[in-house]
């Protein structure tokens, strides 16, 4: 059929309107030639016949023993969640009808898919500077991207159905391609928001310390001046990033009064230009801001999230509340890397753990919005980033607050509050399950044994094979 159609009427996909129009024109031109016209009309009839109907979306029922829906802190017992296609379409106490496609989670606790708002899929652990440098010097972007596909798969297996990946650390815009491959269903992974290359000023970000005669790769795009900042924002957005990431401080030291001080990178003028340009283009800004001056400059410039925030003054916490700036504390990575970095002589990392805890407690008390984020990639992806939850609880959050940080709070920071973050009709069917109640034992969230993302099961009963 394709051959005949090509010969007489051109080889256009029959379902396309434009092709049908061209078919009509060509057929009109051939009117005098009856034999040809008969064939052509036959072809045209086929072209205008309704295309074969796509298979109706699959309906799956999850029977959850308990369910936290992400809106209420109370568990609901014996709940049936119905997912059709990618979305949740009903939640009820009624048992599924006989013969329905049911996944039995009656001995499990269901919670909304977890969201990690600070990851690095292109990085595979960098406790020491050498760990970092070797990835940029000895591994090609292609090789690092292959490793990143494994990290993305691990993230989903841990129950993180959405991540905000906050820069590729020298791997260009490979995160944009990963996001594309995941959303096209080429590889399994969480839905992604990405930040591309990130920005810092000249001379402030690794690789550093090599001979001045060598040109070594950098973990960021080096950007200077207000105009340079605006240009970099435009360039990064044109290359497909969702978020702009800036590094606003470095060279940390603890003052005698216990304040964590720093050397700020961008000037206030540069930061304001970057934030203004990003916001003008409807994109948000995440600031790596660990200490006194960096945090202050970032909140004054109006960034959307403070990443790490090991020390934040009380005045800046108040500004964060007033300007609705989120705090993404990344507590676990600090504890994890401190020992390795202290062994290298950087004892400040050990002192910073105490300062970080104090800041977290003050932020909680001040009512700053806190979103779950881990900096995984800074530590090995073989470690479950859900370890962050236990530290958030150890530092003063209730288990419900900690879970909320990885559900609706994180979803809202990502601007996806209408799509993810809770188990509600109309939202993506992103649901994970754990063996026992995480409100009694927050470390249950390190034991995710069932993962559904967008109505597809990736782990546990009904899984298509990814374990």
State which H helix or E strand residue 405 sits in: helix 399-405
Q: 116 vs 357, which CB is nearer to Zn ion?
A: 116
Q: 191 vs 245, which CB is nearer to Zn ion?
A: 245
Residue number with the shortest CB distance to Zn ion? 375
3-class DSSP assignment, residue 323: helix
3-class DSSP assignment, residue 115: strand
Q: What is the DSSP letter of 302?
A: T
Q: Nearest approach, Cβ of 410 to Zn ion (angstroms)?
A: 15
Q: Kindly identify the residues of this chain, within the stretch 297-356, that bind Zn ion according to CB under 5 A.
A: none
Q: Which of 169, 375, 388, 430 binds Zn ion (CB under 5 A)?
A: 375
Q: 335 vs 375, which CB is nearer to Zn ion?
A: 375
Q: Total residues contacting Zn ion (rule CB under 5 A)?
A: 1
Residue range at the interface with Zn ion (CB under 5 A); choices 99-107, 240-248, 370-378, 423-431: 370-378
Give the distance from CA 28 to its chain's centroid. 53
Q: 262 vs 375, which CB is nearer to Zn ion?
A: 375
CA dihedral 428, 460, 74, 397 (to 10 degrees): -90
Q: Nearest approach, Cβ of 169 to Zn ion (angstroms)?
A: 8
Q: Nearest approach, Cβ of 47 to Zn ion (angstroms)?
A: 53
Cα separation, 277 vs 299, whole angstroms: 16
133 binds Zn ion (CB under 5 A): no
3-class DSSP assignment, residue 118: strand
Closest to 223 in 3D by CA, of 203, 202, 198, 248: 202
What counts of helices (H) and strands (E) characterise the chain? 15, 18
Q: 233 vs 333, which CB is nearer to Zn ion?
A: 333
Q: Nearest approach, Cβ of 167 to Zn ion (angstroms)?
A: 7
- Phi, psi of 112, rounded to the nearest 5 degrees: -60, 150
**Cβ burial 146-162 (10 Å sphere, 16+ → b, else e):** ebbbebbbbbbbbbbbb
Residue range at the interface with Zn ion (CB under 5 A); choices 84-92, 374-382, 409-417, 435-443: 374-382
Q: Nearest approach, Cβ of 120 to Zn ion (angstroms)?
A: 6
Q: 102 vs 287, which CB is nearer to Zn ion?
A: 287
Do 351 and 124 form a contact (C-beta atoms < 8 A)?
no
Q: Nearest approach, Cβ of 374 to Zn ion (angstroms)?
A: 9
Q: 133 vs 375, which CB is nearer to Zn ion?
A: 375
Q: 70 vs 378, which CB is nearer to Zn ion?
A: 378
User: In sequence order, what E strands does 142-189 have?
Assistant: 160-165
Q: Nearest approach, Cβ of 118 to Zn ion (angstroms)?
A: 6
CA dihedral 235, 237, 243, 249 (to 10 degrees): 10
Task: Note the residues at the interface with Zn ion (CB under 5 A).
Answer: 375
């Amino acid at each position: 059929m394709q051959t005949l159609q090509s010969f007489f009427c051109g080889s256009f996909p029959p379902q396309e309107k434009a092709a049908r129009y061209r078919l009509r024109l060509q057929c009109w031109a051939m009117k005098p030639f009856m034999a040809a016209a008969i064939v052509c009309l036959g072809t045209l009839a086929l072209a205008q016949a309704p295309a074969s109907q796509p298979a109706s979306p699959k309906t799956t029922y999850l029977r959850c023993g308990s369910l936290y829906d992400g809106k209420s802190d109370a568990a609901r017992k014996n709940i049936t969640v119905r997912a059709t296609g990618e979305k949740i379409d009903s939640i009820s106490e009624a048992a599924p009808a006989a013969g329905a496609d049911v996944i039995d989670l009656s001995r499990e606790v269901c919670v909304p898919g977890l969201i990690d708002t600070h990851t690095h899929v292109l990085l595979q652990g960098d406790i020491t500077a050498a760990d970092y440098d070797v990835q940029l010097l000895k591994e090609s972007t292609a090789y690092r991207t292959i490793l990143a596909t494994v990290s993305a798969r691990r993230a989903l297996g841990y129950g993180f159905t959405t991540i905000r990946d906050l820069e590729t650390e020298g791997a260009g815009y490979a995160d944009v391609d990963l996001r594309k491959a995941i959303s096209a269903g080429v590889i399994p992974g969480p839905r992604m928001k990405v930040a591309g290359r990130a920005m810092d000023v000249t001379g402030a970000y690794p690789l550093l310390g090599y001979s001045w005669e060598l040109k070594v790769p950098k973990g960021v795009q080096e950007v200077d001046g207000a105009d340079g900042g605006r240009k970099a924002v435009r360039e990064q957005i044109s290359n497909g990033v969702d978020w702009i990431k800036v590094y606003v401080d470095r060279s940390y030291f603890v003052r005698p009064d216990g304040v964590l001080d720093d050397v700020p990178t961008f000037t206030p003028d540069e930061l304001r230009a970057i934030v203004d340009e990003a916001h003008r283009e409807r994109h948000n800004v995440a600031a790596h801001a660990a200490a006194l001056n960096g945090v202050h400059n970032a909140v004054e410039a109006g960034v959307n999230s403070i990443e790490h925030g090991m020390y934040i003054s009380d005045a800046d916490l108040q500004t964060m509340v007033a300007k609705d700036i989120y705090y993404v504390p990344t507590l676990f990575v600090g504890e994890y890397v401190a020992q390795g970095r202290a062994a290298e002589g950087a004892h400040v990392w050990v002192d910073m753990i105490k300062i970080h805890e104090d800041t977290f407690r003050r932020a909680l008390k001040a009512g700053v919005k806190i979103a779950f984020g881990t900096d995984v990639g800074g530590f090995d992806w073989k470690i479950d980033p859900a370890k962050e939850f236990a530290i958030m609880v150890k530092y003063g959050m209730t288990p419900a607050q900690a879970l909320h940080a990885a559900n609706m709070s994180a979803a809202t920071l990502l601007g996806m509050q209408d799509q993810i973050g809770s188990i509600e009709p109309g939202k993506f069917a992103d649901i994970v399950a754990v063996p026992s109640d995480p409100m009694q034992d927050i470390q249950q969230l390190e034991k995710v044994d069932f993962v559904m993302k967008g109505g597809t099961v990736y782990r546990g009963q009904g899984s298509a094979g990814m374990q």
